[in-house]
Structure 1
Amino acid sequence: MKDNTSWSCSSWKLCFLSVLFLAETMAAVKLPPNLTVPALIAFGDSIVDTGNNNYVKTIVKCDFRPYGINFQGGVATGRFCDGRVPADLLAEELGIKSVVPAYLEPNLKPEDLLTGVSFASGGSGYDPLTPKLVGVISLEEQLNYFEEYMEKLKNIVGEKKKDFIIANSVIVLVAGSDDIANTYYTIRARPQYDVDSYTTLMANSASDFVTKLYGYGVRRIAAFGAPPIGCVPSQRTLGGGLSRDCAEDYNEAAQLFNSKLSSKFDLLSQTLPGIRPVYIDIYNPLLDIIQNPANYGFGVSNKGCCGTGAIEVAVLCNKITSSVCSDVSSHVFWDSYHPTEKAYKVLVSALIIKYVNDFV
């Protein structure tokens, strides 16, 4: 990935620490003068689900305390976090708004639609089987909602303005973790695949999804690669042995998928005129935070803040059976699967500065 930022660094780690320092000194990144971003729209899984699963019959929910304890007013909105998630933080950094509502939220206002919503659903993935296993919204169904959304936009602002919003908005796509951690390794629902063929299935699905978005007029698409999923607390517990080390087979699968996704995006940029597909490496920055938490102001990176921190997530992280750590800001992870808002802020502030020029 070509880095178009105006400064240079000797290593990605030094760059990451540098942009972290810079990000702390400003409220939002200064956009290139020729970059207009009217809205941020999110697709994918729990990392960018801002409450859609509240309206789905599934156990993959978090519309209850202690989720949301650091959100505005301490409200559990259905975000899988103590506060805001990357969709919100990215929109804020881009100067759009500080909170991206869920599309299924019944009280959406016209201005909410004009500046972007999230279609994401916690537990979803690139593999069509992944959302079926837990009864959540598939990527295909998210596209159906997107079609409905575009029709609403047209009714509000007309066809021409609608097309402008779709073409110039930043579309965020975050998926893959649940495919690897749940469908492939934990539930083992795809026994006919080895890791290589399964990650190929995932990458092909991602490419097809982006191609469909392109057909709707989308041009700016940012897809997050898979994180070091073997190092999140729950996968340490399930696959890291008695010492809860990082489950390296999970991480190797994530890296294999990432290499294929990056290659797919390179190909899309060559074959779809006018598209701006940006592959975002989240694996290495998050791994460095996990391995060197003190460098980023954290004290604990192998356990979540909720409950024991080893396994609690979604319905298992609740105010009745789970206590909350005394200092959320000391933890990289909120529950056993999802980072804290503070960790998301560290990542998003750095990543947006690194990649924003790729959308011009």
Structure 2
Amino acid sequence: MELWRMAFVCCVFCHCFSHTEAIVTLRGNETIPALILFGDSIMDTGTNNDLITAFKCNFPPYGRDFHGAQPTGRFSNGKVPSDLVAEQLGINEYVAAYTSSSLQPDDLLKGINFASGGTGYDPFTARLASVRPLSEQLEQFKEYIGKLKENFGEEKTNFILSKSLVLVVSSSNDIANTYFASGIRKLDHDVPRYTDMLVQLASSFVKELYSLGVKRIGVFGAPPLGCLPFMRTLFGGVERECTEEINMASKLFNSKLSAELHNLNQNWPQAKIVYIQIYDPLLNIIQNPIKYGLEVVDRGCCGTGSVEAGILCNPLDLQTCTDDSKYVFWDSYHPTEKTYQILVAEILNKYINSFF
């Protein structure tokens, strides 16, 4: 086992670091003062709580392993990647949702979370789910910049924007829901054309962020969506196998996104635009669960684990598993905290110094 993974396992299971102690080493004297997040349910820490949508989770059994067993709006049993990245970088234990009623001015200095579960690059995806589109997240970001200037001044604001780590996690709902599950975009797009559109929209979003003063941007690719329990149920046949057609769509999108971000990086020498590959790390966990101390890969812990997510994963799901530490997925869409811990450790160790 690699040394970094051994150290990570120690930290996860022995609690060998404090909540604000950085365990990721940054190159030279570099610093990351804040974490700013955009995208979907992978990062959402409560944005959807006040929305009228099926894509929300501020009720049990969500959050049963969170502090005080609180269902805060995180789409998992415990912490989600936004929390884990902030914690491992020593920024904060959590990153609050921008819409949180408890948000204080000083919280703005450590970053903010605009992510809304169910959204995507395709504007139709957010409309389909009745959640906040990326365009609205961008407007909220502009408000955030204004609040930083008002409370801390222009110089401090520019420092925060240029030095913060900005992460964008999107595309899964576009491909899995808007294209394959609903079939709506299939009416006028084949997979190559739809992935072209998504990459163009992703590129435009990154350009907008850069124009607002952001310099360190990490953009996640799509995971192996054909292996999500829900997609197995819909398209995997009687055996509920991973669906290769959907996985191929993820890979096609990823190859195009990686190339586009490389081009942007070449054009902006003062910035670091990093493509973050999540497909292989998650697929490796699904194909080799024993290696990571996991067992169940084809269904989530909540309910039957085959279709439950959002409002379908609720206190009435009496079949919900008792030991989610054995599961790759918490519900039919979202990984467990344990899976997220493994992924975040691997991603940070691989990519963090690419931002300097």
Q: Shorter-normalised TM-score: what interval?
A: over 0.9
The TM-score normalised by the length of structure 2 is 0.95
Equivalent in the alignment of 2:161: 166
Instruction: Give the drift of 1:18.
Output: 4.8
1:120 aligned to 2:115? yes
Instruction: Give the drift of 1:114.
Output: 0.8
Matches within 5 A, 1:172-191: 172-190=167-185, 191=187
CA contact (8 A) 2:64 2:78 kept: yes
Matches within 5 A, 1:201-280: 201-280=197-276
Quote the Cα distance in structure 1 between the aligned partners of 2:344 and 2:280: 13
Instruction: Give the drift of 1:25.
Output: 4.1
Instruction: Give the drift of 1:19.
Output: 3.2
CA contact (8 A) 1:23 1:350 kept: no
Quote the Cα distance in structure 1 between the aligned partners of 2:279 and 2:118: 19
Equivalent in the alignment of 2:287: 291
Instruction: Give the drift of 1:117.
Output: 1.2
Equivalent in the alignment of 2:188: 192
Instruction: Give the drift of 1:36.
Output: 0.8
SS at match of 2:85: helix
Work out the number of aligned pairs and report it: 345
Q: Which amino acid aligns with 1:198?
A: Y
1:62 aligned to 2:43? no
SS at match of 1:123: coil
Quote the Cα distance in structure 1 between the aligned partners of 2:317 and 2:289: 28
CA contact (8 A) 1:44 1:125 kept: yes
Change (3 A) 1:221 1:197: same
Identity %: 51
Quote the Cα distance in structure 1 between the aligned partners of 2:300 and 2:52: 26
Please point out which of 28, 37, 42 is paired with 1:33: 28
CA contact (8 A) 2:44 2:115 kept: yes
Quote the Cα distance in structure 1 between the aligned partners of 2:3 and 2:209: 34
The TM-score normalised by the length of structure 1 is 0.94
Equivalent in the alignment of 1:20: 5
Root mean square deviation of aligned Cα = 1.1
Instruction: Give the drift of 1:273.
Output: 3.2
Q: Which runs of 5+ in 1 are unaligned?
A: 1-13
CA contact (8 A) 1:110 1:156 kept: yes
Please point out which of 125, 132, 135 is paired with 2:127: 132
Quote the Cα distance in structure 2 between the aligned partners of 1:324 and 1:242: 22
Quote the Cα distance in structure 1 between the aligned partners of 2:136 and 2:320: 35
Instruction: Give the drift of 1:90.
Output: 0.5
CA contact (8 A) 2:296 2:327 kept: yes
Higher relative contact order (CA 8 A, sep 6+): 1
Q: Which runs of 5+ in 2 are unaligned?
A: 12-16, 18-22
Deviations 1:5-60, CA, capped at 9 Å, x for gaps: xxxxxxxxx7xx55322323454212223221010011000000000000222121
SS at match of 1:95: coil
Equivalent in the alignment of 1:7: none
